[in-house]
């Protein structure tokens, strides 16, 4: 069974700080996605990474896929209250549409 471990589980920081959240597995994934979920809503896709070592940037968010395609990180620069939410990583094996989700990192950015 493929599992994704996310850390930290909870993170509370002040506006303007930088942060990194991690997504780790002992399994290899063909691709990995990051989603953000706000209370009362479903997750929304932020990014998909496919190639080992790949780095993608989305404004103040930087996503990296590990060289061995077993882990990923999300770095947020100068966090803002609007970044508050649950960040979920999700991995796919092979050509399947099936996603395995981590339990998420709940981020709170205080003004």
Partner 1 sequence: DAGVIQSPRHEVTEMGQEVTLRCKPISGHNSLFWYRQTMMRGLELLIYFNNNVPIDDSGMPEDRFSAKMPNASFSTLKIQPSEPRDSAVYFCASSRDRGVGNQPQHFGDGTRLSIL
- Per CB under 8 A, residues contacting partner 1 are 30-31, 33, 40-45, 48, 50, 88, 92, 94-104
CB 14 to partner 1: min, Å: 25
Which residue is it, tokens 């996503």?
63
CB 51 to partner 1: min, Å: 11
Indicate the residue among 64 and 105 with the shorter CB distance to partner 1.
105
Indicate the residue among 42 and 111 with the shorter CB distance to partner 1.
42
């Amino acid at each position: 069974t493929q599992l994704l471990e996310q850390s930290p589980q909870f993170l509370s920081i002040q506006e303007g700080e930088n942060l990194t959240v991690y997504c780790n597995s002992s399994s290899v994934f063909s691709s990995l996605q990051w989603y953000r979920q706000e209370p009362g809503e479903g997750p929304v896709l932020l990014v998909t990474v496919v190639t080992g070592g790949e780095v993608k940037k989305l404004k103040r968010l930087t996503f990296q896929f590990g060289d061995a395609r077993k882990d990923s990180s999300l770095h947020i620069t100068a966090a803002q209250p609007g970044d508050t939410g649950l960040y979920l990583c999700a991995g796919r094996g092979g050509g399947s549409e099936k996603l395995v989700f981590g339990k998420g990192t709940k981020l709170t950015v205080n003004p």
